[in-house]
Amino acid sequence: MSEFQNTLAFAQEKDQKDPLRKYRDEFFFPDFAGDNMVYFTGNSLGLQPKRTKEYIQQELDDWAKWGVEGHFHAKNPWFSYHEILTEQASKIVGAKPKEVVITHSLTTNLHLLMVSFYRPEGKRIKILCEGKAFPSDQYALESQVKFHGLSTDETIVEIFPREGEHTIREEDIYSKIDELGDELALVMIGGVNYYTGQLFDMKAITEAGHNVGATVGFDLAHAAGNVELKLHEWGVDFAAWCTYKYLNSSPGGVSGMFVHERHANNPKLPRFAGWWGHDKDVRFKMEPGFKPMEGAEGWQLSNAPVLGMAAHKASLDIFDEVGMNDISLKRNDLTAYLEFVINDISAKSEKANFEIITPKDPNKRGAQLSILAHGQGKDLFDAMSDAGVVADWREPNVIRIAPAPLYNSYEDVFHFGRILKAAIQ
């Protein structure tokens, strides 16, 4: 017997007892007929924290007041602005501060990291990635191998779910890694799959990759701010993530980069360099000869895009206040409630069969559920949008939803279910 009930009263009672309840009011919700939208796309673009405006305004004011002198005289000097993000960001991914830097955008960072960590040599040229990876990652991998004069056919190995299944079996990843052995140069996988919401065992994948002598990196676009990460402890070589999904840090906002400590002091790693990665004590001597900073900062190219970073700081302050532990507790319960409500509606409907393709095990998923809407088409989704739900539709019939624990409520989940039920065609 489930402890959950698909009723408004039950959802409201859960909200009353929710320790994170007050954070909902920290965010702006898009309006629907005078009420909040049911916003379940925090996995695509997180909502705007109300405090973000203030953080950006501070930098606009300092720019007005100081002009270029703001690099040193602003309240948060722009010369070192990224440094005020590092410690909080490193807690989110479970890293030491020197292993993390906030800079550039996600795909840019993936490329910069692969320039250093994908180094095909002899027969060790292959990359293992998940089948149907996010398109930007596919293009990045494809162009990286071509950059080395190789073809995708001889290098890129994709791993898919088995016939008739929706998620990838981890045992299949490990056996593929072993099979590729000394031909495997790099494992590059999304820590949480963007399509199915499957969370991978990054520690075990890292170990398996290292056992055959490969480097291991993760795209954490759908993992950062969503699930607990321990990149340092797991021994991951590198990782990158965007901050505009679960981390609510503005559209197209800045990205994060992780480089494990063991690579931090290795100036021999090939890399594409820029002045911001150069030893900061002598950066303004403007002398030739690149001397990388220690740690992840040594991968920076350009001076900090301060407005985007101010938005990230606003959000990091909220995450720091709450902590990933409490976020995870609510995430598991809220996601389980959403799962219960969807299954309840599916079981009682004669016309629709909603199959949740995301793993049932809370340790194998984050906040996202992907619903395969058997017997239903885009009309179902359109009807839900018309009734105030913001979700994501993927052809032919998958609805992706993610209740964000910081701002979504149990009542949101109840209303989602109510609208889903009414939209069945």
Q: Look at residues 223, 225, 191 and name the one whose alpha carbon lies nearest to residue 322.
A: 225
Closest CB 105 distance from ligand PLP, rounded Å: 5
User: In the complex, what is the shortest distance from the CB of residue 109 to ligand PLP, in angstroms, rounded to a whole number?
Assistant: 8
Q: Is 242 in the site for ligand PLP (CB under 6 A)?
A: yes
- The nearer residue to ligand PLP, 248 or 346, going by C-beta atoms, is 248
Task: Note whether 222 binds ligand PLP by CB under 6 A.
Answer: yes
CB of 401 to ligand PLP, least distance (A): 15
Cis before 362? omega within 30: no
The count of other CB atoms within 10 Å of the CB of residue 178 is: 12
**Of the listed pieces 78-86, 132-140, 156-164, 323-331, which binds ligand PLP according to CB under 6 A?**
132-140
Q: Does 106 bind ligand PLP (CB under 6 A)?
A: yes
Shortest distance (Å) from residue 162 CB to ligand PLP: 22
Site for ligand PLP contains 221 (CB under 6 A): yes
E strand spans, 260-380: 353-356, 369-374
With CA atoms as reference, report the closest residue to 11 among 421, 415, 344, 423.
Answer: 415
x-or-dash string of contact with ligand PLP, 36-65, rule CB under 6 A: ------------------------------
Cβ 166 to ligand PLP shortest distance, Å: 18
Query: Locate tokens 């949101």: which residue?
Result: 412
| Least distance (Å) between residue 106 CB and ligand PLP | 4
| Of the residues 88, 103, 107, 370, which one makes contact with ligand PLP according to CB under 6 A | 107
CB 212 within 8 A of CB 233: no
Q: Tell me, residue by residue from 180 to 219, as one string, x for binding to ligand PLP by CB under 6 A and - for no binding.
A: ----------x---x------------------------x
| Identity of the residue, 113 or 242, whose beta carbon is nearer to ligand PLP in the bound complex | 242
Say what angle helices 306-322 and 83-93 make with each other, to 10 degrees. 40
Q: Tell me if 419 sits within 8 A of 345, measured CB to CB.
A: no
In the complex with ligand PLP, which residue's Cβ is closer, 107 or 370?
107
One of 41, 48, 88, 105 touching ligand PLP (CB under 6 A): 105
User: Smallest distance, Å, CB 398 to ligand PLP?
Assistant: 15
Distance of CA 160 to the CA centre of its chain: 21
Does residue 243 touch ligand PLP according to CB under 6 A?
A: no
Neighbour tally for 82: CB within 10 Å: 23
* Cβ-based nearer residue to ligand PLP, 256 or 298: 256
Q: Give residue 18's identity as a one-letter amino acid code.
A: D
Residue whose CB is less far from ligand PLP, 183 or 201: 201
Q: Are 123 and 96 in contact (CB under 8 A)?
A: no
Distance separating alpha carbons of residues 209 and 76, to the nearest angstrom: 41
Q: Which is nearer to ligand PLP, 82 or 222 (CB)?
A: 222
DSSP code at position 241: E
SS3 assignment, position 8: helix
Contact yes or no for 220/229 (Cβ under 8 A): yes
Shortest spacing between CB 254 and ligand PLP, in angstroms: 10
Residue from the set 55, 117, 134, 414 that interacts with ligand PLP by CB under 6 A: 134
Give CA 198 to chain center in angstroms.
12
Number of residues that bind ligand PLP (CB under 6 A): 12
- Based on the shown chain and the rule CB under 6 A, indicate whether residue 324 belongs to the binding site for ligand PLP: no
- Residue tagged 């016939």 (tokens): 163
Give the nearest distance from C-beta 15 to ligand PLP in angstroms. 29
Phi-psi region of 150 (alpha: psi -120 to 50; beta: other; left: phi over 0): beta
- Smallest CA-to-CA distance from 404 within 105, 26, 2, 9 is with 26
Our finding on whether 370 is near ligand PLP (CB under 6 A) is no
399: DSSP letter: E
Q: Give me the residues that bind ligand PLP (CB under 6 A), please.
A: 105-107, 134, 136-137, 190, 194, 219, 221-222, 242
